[in-house]
Structure 1
Amino acid sequence: MSQIAEPITIRNVTFKNRIIKGAMSEALANRAGQPNDLHFGLYQAWAQGGLGCAITGNVMVDLRAKNEPGVVAIESERDLERLKKWADIGKKYGMVQLIQLSHPGRQCPKGLNQETVAPSAVPFSPMLATMFATPRELHHEEILDIIQRFADAARVCEKAGFEGVQLHGAHGYLISQFLSPLTNKRQDQWGGSIENRMRFLLEIYHAVRAATSENFIISVKLNSADFQRGGITEEDVIAVFKAIDQAGIDLIEVSGGTYEAPAMAGVKAEKRKASTIAREAYFLEFAEKIRDSVQCKLMVTGGFRSVEGMNAALQSGACDFIGIARPFAVETDLTHRLIAGQDVKYAVKPIKTGVPFVDKMAVMEIIWYAAQFKAIGKGKKPNPKLSPLLVFLNYAKGNVKALIQGRINSRKSA
């Protein structure tokens, strides 16, 4: 029997197979951050395709801090009935669903929100500074408020019927910003030593655990590295993994990179050793290194393309779940095909527009796939040959509209 087809249980929740759709931004919500029929159609397509588990794209815990237009936000029970409908899709088809809770911190395009906040007022690199503003440093009371927002959102997710949440602690979002010495220059209890820098993550975990039941799954997505000079060290990363495991986390997804060094999208793949490339997964070596140091389940996402490679990773014991993201944007029935012994059909390549400053960012690795999701949500087939340049122009147009609307709303409330 193929390893990927074997069931596994976390707390009292059974995953019918080892394939998890990694989080990808759907960008399908309205301006108020509400899920809709497009989300339901998209996740039903994946559920019908045999997925064991789907992790949603970024769901913001604060509507004032969105990472992009069209993102879902959960601040209260306002959309409880819609969320219940979403959760029921997974239950109907036996697909576990984890809501990825996130706060973007400094990673918000200029003009999208009234202001940008972060652990410290650290600007982006000169190239990205044209799109991302220098953030304001968070006050202590604001940090406590954000922690509570994660807990409140998780409580609503459980009430809606989702099996768990994933805390987004990777890819340069707020939790990751607290962990990295590049973006956390604080000298109080939230910065300095790794013990202080990981305090934000641990406090969020404890708050979420206190707000939910014993059988509610809490996962976290963490970087194995920032892939930036002066970023978090491997020693500190291992300390974070051990601390969150000892706190009681159920599942850690191993990833890496930020908007400024987007290793999560495979951009750094050309620098990997030949032996690593042969084994497909970008972060499998780190998972092997950390495996004996943690008791929780591990998930590795990024690079898997063959059934042989997936089964080998599971058989090695390095990970318990295979995370696959981008291929699901063009192959909704991929899980059925993998279990039948067929490899990923489309070798997804980096999305290039031909515009250098755009292609050096990770943004195309988000918005091109979001365009596919919109089509799937409408019941259409995805288009692997969709023009990246056309997608970017539509995205830029949408950002301009959001900026104009934001300014209009600001004037009305002034």
Structure 2
Amino acid sequence: MTSSTHHLAQPLLLPGGHKLPNRFMKSALSESLGDRDCGPTPELERLYARWANGGYGLVVTGNVMVDRRQRGEPGNVVVEDERHLEGLRRWAATFADSEAQLWAQINHPGRQANAMVSKNRPVAPSAIQVKMPGSTKPRALSDAEIRELIERYATTAAVLEKAGFDGVQLHGAHGYLITQFLSPLANQRDDAWGGDAERRRRFVLEVLRAVRAATGKDFAVGIKLNSADFQRGGFSEEESREVVRALVAEGIDLIEVSGGTYENPIMMGKIAESTRAREAFFLEYAAALRDLAPNTPIAVTGGFRSTAAMDGAIANGDCDIVGLGRPTCVFPDAAAQILSGATDRLESPGVRVGLRPVMGRVLDLKQMDGGLDLSWHTDQLHRLGAGKEPDLNRGWKTALGAMVLRNGPEAFRAKRG
């Protein structure tokens, strides 16, 4: 610890009793390293062994899907029963000697499911297609199917607890199923699951209750939640605050603040320069939650790069935990580097599309840049999983080729945790 990281180095006690050794969280990043049967692999174990020794207080995995019939991308791990229990135990055991907590992010893609991977038509609260290239119009879920999905989240959490994970994070951001239920643009039902803000938030509350009922009192449950989806007529900050109020009343252990969807990818850095200068994209909203969640830790991910901004956010009480995403792909020990004073800034180079005058005529360059940058960082995760070091000189053409090979026709809407 250095004087400039005093607040970052402080431990944090979560409402459920879990103690984090410091204020750094490795946020969810979809690794795409599952095997053909959607189980964990030795590559995942090698990757997480690096993060286990990276100095973080909390590490959250990428998407662990609750239903193999509906997956977001190739290489998703799916946990819907105990068929991969031994592999999951090996994955969790990478943290056996670490002070850090290991949580699995559990998720259902809803209308963002990759039909080429799942071989099934996507399902969603309403039959409304997501506005992204290559998307498929979803089928609206029945009441019975919604109740069955809630139980799937609970089953997934229970299996992960048995495997040795310390907790789960519900993915309630970035346009996935929980977000779809919350959004009036995606959820146009007029039954117990939609029609007004109270009924739209019922799904996430029922998922939380089911997970709590299926797991022990020492198993942590957090959520990644949109501050808003930044779309006209969509999920608003006012509605998000009401969801936070309800989650706090249910005893949620941690709320990670994010925002946007893959239709409007604010979380990928599509923000105003004034916000970028403050580094943390959603810090202002997080600070505004203090009155609603005085005893519930708030994490903010997105944009943090300098020690000064990170430690300052904790010192000012704007958030309790600093989340790091893409920098951890090229600096797996990013937290340790900051805490030791080895560096005071994390710069992840990334890439963007070349030949811009030509490519810009046929592609949305901002959307393409976002997808390509994610693919470049996924390539780095695959190198770490293979026991190699990151390749900071990897070019955009190589990253583009890998993106197409991994995702096929869905390549231009690659998703992240």
Distance, in Å, in 2 between the alignment partners of 1:221 and 1:347 is 23
Residues 365-384 of structure 1 show CA distances to partners (whole Å, capped at 9, x for unaligned) of 43222111110011111112
| Cross-structure match for 1:23 | 28
AA at the equivalent of 2:246: A
Is 1:59 the counterpart of 2:59 in the alignment?
A: no
| Range with greater deviation from structure 2 (94-103 or 228-237) | 228-237
AA at the equivalent of 1:67: G
Superposed displacement of residue 335, structure 1: 1.2
Residues 111-146 of structure 1 show CA distances to partners (whole Å, capped at 9, x for unaligned) of 222111111111233xx2x31111111111111111
Matched-pair contact (CA < 8 Å) for 1:24–1:366: no
Superposed displacement of residue 46, structure 1: 1.3
Matched-pair contact (CA < 8 Å) for 1:351–1:368: no
Matched-pair contact (CA < 8 Å) for 2:351–2:376: no
Alignment of 1:159-170 (within 5 A): 159-170=162-173
| Cross-structure match for 1:360 | 367
Alignment partner of 1:4: what SS? Answer: coil
Superposed displacement of residue 213, structure 1: 0.7
| Cross-structure match for 1:289 | 288
Alignment of 1:234-253 (within 5 A): 234-253=237-256
Distance, in Å, in 1 between the alignment partners of 2:115 and 2:367 is 18
Alignment of 1:12-411 (within 5 A): 12-113=17-118, 114-125=120-131, 128=132, 130-267=133-270, 269=271, 271=272, 274=274, 276-294=275-293, 295-341=295-341, 342-348=343-349, 351-352=352-353, 355=359, 356-357=363-364, 359-360=366-367, 362-400=370-408
Superposed displacement of residue 83, structure 1: 1.0
What percentage of aligned pairs have identical amino acids?
A: 43
| Range with greater deviation from structure 2 (379-388 or 318-327) | 379-388
Distance, in Å, in 2 between the alignment partners of 1:6 and 1:90 is 20
Distance, in Å, in 2 between the alignment partners of 1:351 and 1:219 is 33
Distance, in Å, in 2 between the alignment partners of 1:142 and 1:86 is 30
Matched-pair contact (CA < 8 Å) for 1:41–1:378: yes
Q: Which runs of 5+ in 1 are unaligned?
A: 404-414
Q: 1:166 to 1:351 in 2, by over 3 A?
A: farther
AA at the equivalent of 1:352: V
Superposed displacement of residue 49, structure 1: 2.0
Alignment partner of 1:318: what SS? Answer: coil
AA at the equivalent of 1:344: R
Distance, in Å, in 1 between the alignment partners of 2:409 and 2:269 is 31
Distance, in Å, in 2 between the alignment partners of 1:402 and 1:25 is 15
AA at the equivalent of 1:360: Q
Distance, in Å, in 2 between the alignment partners of 1:286 and 1:169 is 16
| Range with greater deviation from structure 2 (18-27 or 43-52) | 43-52
Distance, in Å, in 2 between the alignment partners of 1:349 and 1:132 is 26
Alignment partner of 2:112: what SS? Answer: coil
AA at the equivalent of 2:156: A
Q: 1:227 to 1:102 in 2, by over 3 A?
A: same
| Cross-structure match for 1:411 | none
| Range with greater deviation from structure 2 (329-338 or 355-364) | 355-364
Aligned residues between the structures: 396
With the length of structure 1 as denominator, give the TM-score of the two structures. 0.91
| Range with greater deviation from structure 2 (83-92 or 354-363) | 354-363
Superposed displacement of residue 391, structure 1: 2.3
| Cross-structure match for 2:415 | none
AA at the equivalent of 1:53: L
AA at the equivalent of 1:56: T
Residues 34-71 of structure 1 show CA distances to partners (whole Å, capped at 9, x for unaligned) of 11111011111111222221100000000111100001
Superposed displacement of residue 14, structure 1: 1.8
Q: Which runs of 5+ in 2 are unaligned?
A: 412-417
| Cross-structure match for 2:414 | none
Matched-pair contact (CA < 8 Å) for 1:334–1:344: no
